[in-house]
Amino acid sequence: MFGWVLFAAELRRWTRQGRRPQFWWRDDDARAPTPALARLIACAAPDAIPLALAVLPEGPDATLAVFLKTQPLIGVLLHGVDHLSGGPPGQPSQFSRLAPVAEVAARLRRGRAQLAAFDRRLPVYVPPWNDLQPN
């Protein structure tokens, strides 16, 4: 609850400064059309709010790409490369701090290629656990 209080206070500061924030909705761990995804789309539809769908590349159901062809306001983001932790115990992260840059880049390219069936792929990487380890 405390986070929402801070968030509301920040929005009030922006309003006083004449600023208007822009928000986007993101749904993580997408693999298939689900009732939860349908509910999210239904919430966004009346106001034509664009959505970002963070799709796991290691096996999305083929029906997801077909379904999303009918959803022009949904962009697809790469959500990890295999959703397995390469970080130290207790600190999940997609890549180890020791992983060579070339290896990380190759894994990211492979992950993006696995999403080729999606029409509206955006060049955005969404790390699992929302964590990128610094080198």
| Tens digits of residue pLDDT in 10-51 | 999 999 999 988 877 777 788 899 999 999 999 989 989 889
Averaged pLDDT, 95-123: 91
Quote the pLDDT of residue 87.
Answer: 73
- How many Å from the N-terminal Cα to the C-terminal Cα in the chain? 34
Quote the pLDDT of residue 72.
Answer: 93
pLDDT at 3 over 80: no
Task: Give the dihedral of Cα atoms 64, 70, 71, 74; nearest 10 deg.
Answer: 50
Quote the pLDDT of residue 133.
Answer: 57
Averaged pLDDT, 113-132: 86
Specify whether the CB–CB gap between 118 and 65 falls below 8 A.
Answer: yes
Range in 1-10, 73-82, 85-94, 117-126 the model is least confident about:
85-94
pLDDT at 135 over 50: no
pLDDT digits (tens, 9 = 90+) for 77-107: 999 887 777 777 777 788 888 889 999 999 9
Q: Nearest Cα to 78, choosing from 48, 49, 110? A: 110
